Chains A and B, each alone.
Chain A
């Protein structure tokens, strides 16, 4: 006989989802799954396996020969095409990734330190001027990465106002309203097609688009199709994730005035606090793989061809790795989280994203006086409104 509890766990597994409202209670879901069903099967999105323990996720990340990223790491996908380099297996992955890798090293990013800080400071001042009750998401967390990344990538300033809506439609509407996603997907491809049509090789310019257009793989430039897919990926990766991370940091500090005061009293704690935001409130809760050969994970057989979701957000709260895992502990010293993934597909922009988050929080706290939530019902996740009182 199946006990009520076992049935509950089966329900939790079968309904496991990591988008939209499911995120409201996902940390409880993770805890249930880790203890009762660490590898299991959800019936959502046509069915997929999920892996929730940190060590199992890490092992999969280190084994790209068993776990392919094709046809899409994002799940459900954000487009039909495979996006380089996140949806590319080796050897193509290495070729694609190498084009931009040197631009995202800590050394290169030092050059961006002042522009990041100036942008954050100016945006914080603009936000402050809106007054108590203003929305720190649309008023700060979103514009900061839009400005920084658009300058780096080479997106003209007059186009920036269109970006938020495209990101919202592609990332956040794809589950409930796929037709909205499709329209935005087309708009973004058309936008980059036009940008590439008008691209000129100016030796003084060194944007990400310039690097992509000048790049050669085996002596051949990238095709227009490859360029478009790469641009589409950068557009989504550079804007949404960082906005979420900054918003989530502000959300935590609004809800936890003691933590906020600690960071105000000692700003040298901010980088460590940001690691904790990335561990606990990460914009990337899960990424997908496709199993290439029959394998067994924690006793569960998984067949070649099956889709598998690596639940980073669960691994980041694994009690076997992190003591008191559900506590956001801004002083946590050992923090080997998977907020940026790991292995060969480690987030290419992690060093940039990290700097934007840290500097974004530093400048916000310098400019904006102590703040609390204006609407305590606004959730920790996503890039929607976050109104604060100060």
Chain B
């Protein structure tokens, strides 16, 4: 599973870091990024990433499997 964030769409709701804090982080301006090295999502984080995507109000988390 690969994950990325469409940075133009993120508005900083920070729901992704609630569901998958090991995969996503929020920068000093309040916008989300995928943590370095987490673009290829480890097996034990995949459920969390799916939940993050399903709860992102801006639909900005893109998952490819």
Contact = CB atoms under 8 A, between A and B. Distances in A.
Interface of A: 58, 62, 101-102, 104-107, 271, 275, 333-338, 340, 342-344, 346, 350-351
B28 A346 contact: no
Contact of A333 (B18, B29, B54, B56): B54
A102 B57 contact: no
A106 B26 contact: yes
A343 B55 contact: no
Interface in B1-28: 9, 11-14, 17-18, 26-28
A67 to B, nearest CB: 15
A38 B26 CA distance: 36
18 contacts: A101-B29, A102-B30, A105-B27, A105-B28, A106-B14, A106-B26, A107-B28, A333-B51, A333-B54, A334-B51, A337-B57, A340-B13, A340-B57, A342-B13, A343-B58, A350-B13, A350-B14, A351-B30
B35 interface: no
A333 B50 CA distance: 11
B33 to A, nearest CB: 13
B28 A343 contact: no
Task: Classify chain B's interface size.
Answer: 10 to 19
Contacts of B11: 342-344, 346
Interface string B43-57: 000000001001111
A346 B57 contact: yes
Contacts, number: 56
A101 B18 CA distance: 19
Given A106-B14, A333-B51, A351-B14, A342 B26 contact: no
Interface of B: 9, 11-14, 17-18, 26-30, 51, 54-59
Contact of A338 (B14, B29, B57): B57
A336 B60 CA distance: 12
Given A346-B13, A350-B13, 10 more contacts: A101-B29, A101-B30, A105-B14, A105-B29, A105-B30, A106-B30, A275-B55, A337-B57, A346-B11, A351-B12
Contacts of B9: 62
A382 B58 CA distance: 27
A86 to B, nearest CB: 14
B56 A102 contact: no
B57 A106 contact: no
A328 to B, nearest CB: 17
Contact of B54 (A271, A336, A350): A336
3 smallest beta-carbon distances between A and B, as pairs? A105-B30, A346-B11, A334-B54
A275 B19 CA distance: 13
B59 A336 contact: yes
Nearest to A334: B54
Contacts of A342: 11, 13, 57-58
Contacts of B54: 333-334, 336
A346 B17 CA distance: 17
B47 to A, nearest CB: 10
A105 B12 contact: yes
Contacts of B13: 340, 342, 346, 350
A344 B13 CA distance: 11
A121 to B, nearest CB: 23
Nearest to B18: A271
A104 B57 contact: no
Contact of B57 (A271, A336, A344, A351): A336
Nearest to A350: B13
Nearest to A338: B57
A333 to B, nearest CB: 7
